[in-house]
Chains A and B, each alone.
Chain A
């Protein structure tokens, strides 16, 4: 929800987001605070809450980390429970919990099946990593708090990850020279790196070196989630 607070670019976007937020918020308040006339109405309210919970509790990290350390999945699943408790009676809490766990389990299974199918198909698999994300030690978060503003901390962070990725970028001496390529990555709150796009250089070995440099890099948590375009040129 904090994107609204740091909209720096196009004012029209900021305006539309704020408007949307306000409208939405008002409607939700309406629904929640209006007195429930019957149990039938009560039941109707619950689907909305699950809808919200689903949105908050199924971030993209889960998609990637299905076969990774259980830590990711487990830690995420505790969040909706706390929210549930404050809202309705214990019965409804239980139903919601069950539904959430079922949804998560289903997603996990779907992901495993999908990856297995990809591996079987031609002995090769597409980009997603199965490696456990390395534990990111805390002692960060200082980026957001630094005096000098958000701009400076993003720039500092950019500089740091540039060095990390560069140090992991290797390429054979005898390989083709003069190549260029790029990749778009998304850095999550915990520093986990997701490769979203790889713009080929036209040479498989070079593309391989780009991808590897990103896969080998373990980044500290960023001041904010960000999309980064990394341009490689030999």
Chain B
């Protein structure tokens, strides 16, 4: 039994043996009830001992919708399309190719990523719970917060944890930036909003949402039609009026101070040079071209610029829209072939650029999705989850049948680069034949989070007291970093 746990361990059998330095002040807990003022949990010696950070920034590349591992990072036996082929023969619909690491092969179409495989570690054994019904919304919520919805308090996104615990890397750069996901005008938008939030930390730690990379510059510019001169004049007018207002002498007025301080911060960002980081048109045409496979590619470029300028956490996604992109319920092969084209070049270029300017060593890049896909199995083998396949056929008779169209939670690939992660590593594996479950070193969402947080210098046991109860960055403070992943 470890003696340094700071967790609120709910398991009665283990509780008594755990020395838990949780500062469970009831008075403090009561004080935060119903208020957005969570209190950091500490131990008797002061604060929780955080690990030494191996990364200062984190980029999460989110392939939303359920990326089939056998079609990307974990190729199995390849069977080309053939009219009448039995569905159970479909394991991979792409042949495999060599990568820069001898022992690792990935799917054809990802040649650029293959060429940078020696700069990161591939995890092939990530697993997710079934949750009884495989819904993108719940699995995405779980993946982004570490908690399965619904929850009694609003769970913060992992970017919000970094924003709260670490703060910004560069004081004028928002610490949590979310690129490529629209939160309006798309299906399941409310479910997306439910985890794209700082939750109980309050909006100060919430995401800056930039759905279109090419429009990001606008988010940090004066409003359209207002020149920078006018913007400066407007700010001066505001300050002069505030100085003249009769309430100006009220000392230590929290409301007033917080308004003036925040307006000041906003003005600084919106008029600082750092905001050029949001403008991808400032790149040379050659550089832009290396990334520009579409919205996602431009998002990767923006992510790189933001990290260069000192962003703390950036998520960039191919975007979740039900039945689009990686949510391949039919024509999986054709769709994934297109998606390969969208992600291969920009992801590889991002890694190369970060590596070339020396930032990769302190930037953790994670490529992940809420679950994998399979041609036969919904959830995990033996799952009672509703099969949500749009068609169920025994034989492939049309091209739209060719591909992996069901949600699979038994074995998923996650790629990690930089930020202290081993170069050229491979961790875990899935079975060569169906069911393609993780057969070695399974990694849960919780432990994956613990690994990410550990790299960022945040103890997986970090917790806050909210409404009188402890709430941890990994559930009950139980996440354990996978130490083998670090170099």
Q: Do A and B bind each other?
A: no
Residue numbers of A with Cβ under 8 A of B are: none
Residue numbers of B with Cβ under 8 A of A are: none
